[in-house]
Amino acid sequence: MPTAAPTRCQPIEPANIWSGAAGEPTKLRISMEAARVNAKLTQDEAAKILHVTKQTLVNWEKGRTEPKTSQAVKMAEVYGVPYDNIIFLPLKTN
């Protein structure tokens, strides 16, 4: 039985998340990787736009290193999401 060829990650549909009692919207927070995928960018494309290497972008997405504030703000602009909605992973110690 043939297997399907791998495809590019599919965008994650945004959702409205409502808090319980007050009924006020809460922020939807997504990872750097999910924000990039939703922007329909590959790691290579995003790295080029952000003027970093692909390995630098991979390290940010994996929590090995973190971007400078100016880089994170640019990333949010490129990905089309508010800066404070992107989850920056804690740095890994290994």
The domains located in the chain, with CATH, are 30-86 (1.10.260.40)
Most confident range (mean pLDDT) of 12-16, 28-32, 78-82 is 78-82
CB contact at 8 A, 75 and 32: yes
Most confident range (mean pLDDT) of 11-15, 22-26, 36-40 is 36-40
Residue 76, C-beta contacts closer than 8 angstroms, at least 6 positions apart: 35, 82, 83, 85, 86
pLDDT of residue 44: 97
Helix (H) or strand (E) holding 31: strand 30-31
Angle at 44 between CA 60 and CA 72, to 5 degrees: 35
pLDDT range class, residue 47, cuts 50, 70, 90: very high
pLDDT range class, residue 27, cuts 50, 70, 90: low
Q: What is the mean pLDDT of residues 2-26?
A: 47
Size (the chain), residues: 94
